[in-house]
Amino acid sequence: MLKNQPKQQDEPNHPHKLLPPQPAATWRSILARARKGPGGRGDAQGRSRDAPGRQAPPSPGSGPSPGSGPSPGSGPSPGAASAAVGSGGAAARPPGRGRARAWGQGWARGSSCGSAGTAGGSYLDNKMEPAKLDLWILGWFSMALCCWCASDTFTQSGIHPHTWKKLYFAHHWPVTVCKMNANDCHDPPKYWTIHGLWPDKAEDCNRTWHFNVTEIKDLMSDMRHYWPDVLHSSLNRTQFWKHEWEKHGTCAAILEVLNSQKKYFGKALELYQHIDLNGCLLKAGIKPSSSYYKMTAIKEALTRFYGVIPKIQCLPPEEGEEAQTIGQIEICFTKQLQLVNCTALEGESNPMQAHLKLGTSELSVCNDTLPTYYPSEVQDHK
């Protein structure tokens, strides 16, 4: 019997034989034999013979010698039955070629849904499964990372854009803006112009949503008149609008009426006409003058006209001055674009600190006790 045992060293060399066997082949081979019953044929392509503990196929010319088969009337020996199951009928093929063909067929058909691919599974099939699992895990990790980045894009300084509650519609007085940085100002408008439309509690909500001036080309005439870049008189400059959109417009865009650049700037222009701050002040007898006003009188006049409390900012007195200079007036709206008080309710913080700062000068909430200057022209710093 020892003479008929196949020699391991004579087995045809195959590059895949150098790979280590996979544990998955063991239970798959056992499952295949269990389904086919005792003494059943193994994998039709001979792929199950790579399971650990199985005998290798006979080497060329090492088949059983004449007369070594079972004697008449005797059943197959356990060793012969094992060889039959393990080889899957490969002994009938030409020596040395059957195994190579079985490997090639197994590789070609390993991904199919046939019985051969399901029952035994080639070594390469089993080898690919961990790789597929790794790719699956990597895919989910990448998706989670993208979601985190997307959420981070809409979350700046720990504040989520959906938490803002009101819009600050800011007008600034160009003469005061030029006073803060006279070197860059030339003949500023003598009417209140738009500074911006700002959600509270949110800034820079989507840094990938860049400003595109072509989207507001239909608004350019009104934009240049009512929303000019006071510090830069060139008509071709759009940096000011770009700043307002990317810092504030991308946060306001959670509202359907403001969810595009054209809607955002167009709605601001519409609100400007509706508020008519210039007309309101003139009706109250408040106009640029060399005389001083009481801040409480200005605030009361605006509150009576709009029915809500505005936010007014001034340039503090410089050395040698006694009066503050009015510079910015903000009217507030709800998300439904209804007028609302700009002042915070009791126990509620007011996070919008959109003060205008140019050089060393900075606007801040006006002092009710100081006289207020409403300048008609730019004056040099003292």
Active centre residues (catalytic): 195, 244, 248
Q: Tokens 């004579």 sit at which residue?
A: 10
Q: Tokens 């490969």 sit at which residue?
A: 90
Residues 258/267, Cβ–Cβ less than 8 Å: yes
Alpha helix segments (H runs only) across 170-276:
174-180, 220-226, 239-244, 250-252, 261-275
Half-sphere exposure (Cβ direction) of 71: Cα atoms closer than 13 Å = 1
Rounded Cα–Cα distance for residues 318 and 316 (Å): 6
Locate 118 and state its tokens. Answer: 């399901």
Residue 339: phi and psi, rounded to 5, are -60, 140
Helix, strand, or coil here: 28? helix
Residue 167's identity, in one-letter code, is L
Rounded Cα–Cα distance for residues 194 and 269 (Å): 8
Rounded Cα–Cα distance for residues 179 and 329 (Å): 17
Q: Tokens 């810092």 sit at which residue?
A: 247
Collect all residues with Cβ–Cβ distance below 8 Å to 148 and sequence separation of at least 6. Answer: none
Residue 324's identity, in one-letter code, is Q
Angle separating helix axes 123-153 and 23-36, nearest 10 degrees: 120
Rounded Cα–Cα distance for residues 335 and 201 (Å): 13
Rounded Cα–Cα distance for residues 50 and 108 (Å): 17
Helix, strand, or coil here: 73? coil
Rounded Cα–Cα distance for residues 54 and 63 (Å): 17
Q: How buried is residue 49: exposed, middle or buried, by Cβ count under 10 Å (0-12/13-18/19+)?
A: buried
Helix, strand, or coil here: 372? strand
